A and B are shown apart, each in its own frame.
Chain A
């Protein structure tokens, strides 16, 4: 069965970086675009990034340009998201999601369990 298992919660200080992983299983990882979405406490969903199936191209929301790097390792079926220069507003649950594909609509059919990143001094 399809599973996306994310790394555990992180507590970071302002200005630090965090790297969240998302290990995929149960499907051909190299066939799907993958995304990162975050959700601050009590807030809505925020789209962050997409990476293509081969990992050769990633696109980021303008808001995160320069602070975010998304990569994937097809040999281990693992997706990564690194966010730098953390500030308190980055405190959120970060989700990886598999795009079902087939159109430019967001068709997230499977999600990771979410990783809480808390930024606090």
Chain B
């Protein structure tokens, strides 16, 4: 199972919106509505931000939203803040009780 494809880096200025894409295949992202997104700060364990494509766990800001179209899922962060600077990873169910992560995207807040 190959890793999902994410851009290596994205950037934005405070207050702007950015979108991180996560491209898979019909066997993972496109086949199931079980995409999650994680944020990882340096030296820390990841924190899950979105599950089931577009649902936010309690405590996650509504500035974070998720969507999916075909084989590509997306994470959008609106009203960008300095504290959003981190690495972001998508994951998808691939069937048969297995999952795959994306390669990760480094978000820089300019």
Contact = CB atoms under 8 A, between A and B. Distances in A.
Interface of A: 37, 44-47, 50, 59-63, 95, 97, 100, 103-109, 111-114
Nearest to A110: B45
Interface string B32-48: 10111010100001101
A114 B99 contact: no
Interface in B54-110: 57, 87, 89, 91, 93, 96-104
Interface residues of B, number: 28
Contact of A59 (B3, B45, B97): B97
Contact of A45 (B34, B46, B51, B98): B46
Contact of A62 (B1, B38, B45): B1
A107 B55 CA distance: 11
Contacts of A103: 34, 51-52
B100 A47 contact: yes
A104 B34 contact: yes
18 contacts: A44-B103, A44-B104, A45-B89, A47-B100, A59-B98, A61-B1, A63-B1, A103-B52, A105-B53, A105-B91, A106-B48, A107-B36, A107-B57, A108-B38, A109-B48, A112-B45, A113-B45, A114-B45
